[in-house]
Amino acid sequence: MARLTLVSPSSVKQAIHNEITFQRTRRGSPPSVDSRPTFLEWLRLSWLDLLTLIAIGGVAAGFDAMWPPYHRLFPYSQDYADIISSDIAYPLVDPTLSSLLAAVVCIGTPLVIFILAQLHLRHFWSLNNAIFGLLYANVGGTCFQVIIKTLIGGFRPHFLAACQPDFSRSGANKGPLGIYHDWTVCTGDQDTILNALETFPSGHTEVAFAGFLYLSLWINANLKVVGGPYQPCFWKVVALFTPLLAAVLMAGDLQMTYNHHWADVIMGAAIGSSFALVGYKSMFVSVFDARTNDVVLHRRRTVLKSREDTMENGEIV
């Protein structure tokens, strides 16, 4: 015969009270560094970053839509063939990858690799930090180079082909010899002219190095290619340098198709590389130290919560 256990009303009320208190405490505290958070917990930790990324992207879009505020002058004379800037007289050729496609490739490729790696890693915060670091690098680097491109800019190698100048306009024949002109003499397509006025630095190159150098750093950290305790297999070395090769090829294509000067490409690579390094270090303990370059950094609130949980369990922190 089954045994009946009588439970007093006061013990039931106490159990309900304890459960409600636990749920309230859990909702108001950050998740553990070792657990996968709920969506609301993740949003509570990440909303400011998401808002900042959107705001910085909006700033970049605003500057990208602006006409350069400064009117650079270019030399051109129909009477003297030697008074022509040959470095801006190349034919108009589209780059192999459009700006949108370059962004999709340079951000999408690392994203796919990070997600596929989770089949083996199975660690939420590792994926979270890898993605946020990639966004830091690309969104920050893009805004940085777009502001410079708009406020400084310069003439692309194909500027004259895009401009199609009419020297009877008011912006022509400036300077003591009357051989300098500004972009208001242009009669070409307005969007093409605007693009031809913004050569420095190279946005394609910045995005390529921000995305692919970041991916190389992540590959090095997870495969322990450089600085690891053992000799790496050669395929790991190949995997490390493949993203860098892709970035260099994208940069070289821009010079070969007369879309950028070498100085534009070098500066774009420097900006992208800088943001890739900072983006990675913002999310992981180190960049090159093989002992810690795959160890994720957590929010301060999350770390403090985990320490409190450890102390409550009687463990030494």
Both 166 and 295 in one domain: the answer is no
The answer as to whether 287 is a domain residue is yes
The answer as to whether 49 is a domain residue is no
Both 238 and 168 in one domain: the answer is no
Residue 113's SS3 state is helix
Does 207 or 298 have the greater pLDDT score?
Answer: 207
Both 185 and 167 in one domain: the answer is yes
Closest CA to 301 of 309, 312, 293, 292: 309
Both 254 and 290 in one domain: the answer is yes
Taking CA atoms, 71 is separated from 143, 170, 269, 316, in Å, by 22, 13, 26, 66
What is the total count of domains within the chain?
Answer: 2
Both 274 and 175 in one domain: the answer is no
Domain that includes residue 192, residue range? 158-198
The answer as to whether 83 is a domain residue is no
Whole-number percent of the chain with pLDDT over 70 = 81
Q: Check the CA dihedral 125-131-137-142 and report its sign.
A: negative
pLDDT of residue 266: 96
Q: What is the mean pLDDT of residues 245-264?
A: 95
Q: What is the mean pLDDT of residues 278-289?
A: 94
Q: Which two tokens stand for residue 198?
A: 């913004």
Q: Is the pLDDT of residue 302 over 90?
A: no
Residue 171's SS3 state is coil
Rounded distance, CA 157 to CA 257, Å?
Answer: 9
Both 142 and 261 in one domain: the answer is yes
Q: Which two tokens stand for residue 184?
A: 């208001």
The answer as to whether 212 is a domain residue is yes
Q: What is the mean pLDDT of the chain?
A: 84
- The pTM (predicted TM-score) of the whole model is 0.81
The answer as to whether 6 is a domain residue is no
Both 136 and 265 in one domain: the answer is yes
Closest CA to 167 of 180, 153, 152: 180
Confidence of residue 168 (pLDDT cuts 50, 70, 90): confident
Both 176 and 281 in one domain: the answer is no
Q: What is the mean pLDDT of residues 104-122?
A: 93
The answer as to whether 255 is a domain residue is yes
Count of CB atoms within 10 A of residue 159's CB?
27
Residue 74's SS3 state is strand
pLDDT of residue 300: 66
Q: What is the mean pLDDT of residues 211-232?
A: 93
User: What is Dmax (Cα atoms) for the chain?
Assistant: 115
Both 257 and 190 in one domain: the answer is no
Closest CA to 128 of 112, 147, 114: 114
Q: Is the pLDDT of residue 115 over 50?
A: yes
The answer as to whether 77 is a domain residue is no
Q: Is the pLDDT of residue 153 over 50?
A: yes
Both 218 and 270 in one domain: the answer is yes
Last residue of some domain: 143, 176, 198?
Answer: 198
Cβ–Cβ < 8 Å for 72, 181: no
Does 269 or 27 have the greater pLDDT score?
Answer: 269
